[in-house]
Amino acid sequence: MTLFVYHHPAALAHDPGQGHPEAPIRLHYILKGLDAATDVDLSRHEPGRATLDHLLRAHSAAHINNVLDQVPARGSVPLDMDTWLNPHTGEAALRAAGAAVDAVDAVLGGRTRRAFLAMRPPGHHAEPDVAMGFCFFNNVAIGALHALDAHGLSRVAVTDFDVHHGNGTQAIFESDPRLFYASIHEAPLYPGTGRESEAGVGNVFNTCVQAGTDGARWRAALEARILPALDAFQPELVMISAGFDAHLADPLANLRLTEDDFAWITERLVEIAERHAEGRVISVLEGGYDPPALTRSVLAHLRAMEDRA
């Protein structure tokens, strides 16, 4: 089946400002790479906006209002030193969250088994009441909760291989046994969360790796804890917080992965989805701040995720 790719022009219009690493050029590079990737069977889709009901599954009303009410008519304004809004941020954030909802509907509705969100801003740092770390609404969590509440699933898993811990996703998931969250991330590093002792209600699995970790050690760490735990959870839907900032070329971290490592973990997640989730996988773009390396990594990820059934 064709791999669905979700994109909306608002994702390019959101601009945190000159010199900010989470810049539109990230997505420009990815889209150009997708245009040139004639070997991958893609179907492109424009997402709708997330509704208030969708957002309220993961965030408080006060948080939602705080984000949307501060979108400026012109210029840019900060929510914190890292997280800036411009006039297009509200639309971009609603479309990014909406893409997660639409992808869940498409995958669980049987129109495809695989989907990728070529959207920004990212989401995994957004907590129920706090926007932070370039993130406003937690896209992957909104999608996972939609799968539970609107489609009646009982087990949804998110695996996060962004180099930074997804503190927001963990905060949203950690008291709900229907949800599984696993993260492999560099530590110490922003945001300073994600200790291996943090277990939620037995549904949170963090693995910390040190600066300088290469692909072989990273793969071994995943095989030691996260992949067996995910397999044991038997998810009915596999979701991915797909951050590519653990790449050795990335300027914001210190791991030494290559595109082959991202392809490898994608293959392992697809295998688990085939065993337990009818092959259903949804990948949500998170970090990755060297545009050429990001694009190569995304393409390797999508080739590994492509549905050849």
**Smallest Cα–Cα separation from 71: which of 31, 141, 131?**
131
* pLDDT at residue 209, rounded to an integer: 98
**Phi and psi at residue 81, in whole multiples of 5°?**
-65, -20
* pLDDT at residue 252, rounded to an integer: 97
* pLDDT at residue 132, rounded to an integer: 98
**Is 8 marked active-site?**
no
* Domain segments of the chain as ranges: 3-305
Given the residues 7, 45, 54, 125, the one annotated as active site: 125
* pLDDT at residue 35, rounded to an integer: 96
Q: Could you give the CA distance from residue 220 to residue 222 in angstroms, rounded to a whole number?
A: 5
Q: Could you give the CA distance from residue 29 to residue 42 in angstroms, rounded to a whole number?
A: 17
* pLDDT at residue 62, rounded to an integer: 98
Strand, helix or coil for residue 181: strand
* pLDDT at residue 152, rounded to an integer: 98
Superfamily of domain 3-305: Histone deacetylase domain (3.40.800.20)
**Smallest Cα–Cα separation from 15: which of 98, 93, 89, 90?**
89
**Residues making up the chain, counted from first to last:** 309
* pLDDT at residue 114, rounded to an integer: 98
| Start-end of H helices in the chain | 10-13, 24-36, 52-56, 61-69, 89-108, 139-151, 167-173, 215-221, 227-233, 259-276, 291-305
List, for the chain, all residue ranges whose pLDDT scores fall below the cut of 70: 309
* pLDDT at residue 309, rounded to an integer: 67
Report DSSP letters for 237-258, one per residue: EEEEEE--TTBTT-TT---BB-
pTM beyond 0.95: yes
Are 96 and 121 in contact by the 8 Å Cβ rule? The answer is: yes
* pLDDT at residue 141, rounded to an integer: 99
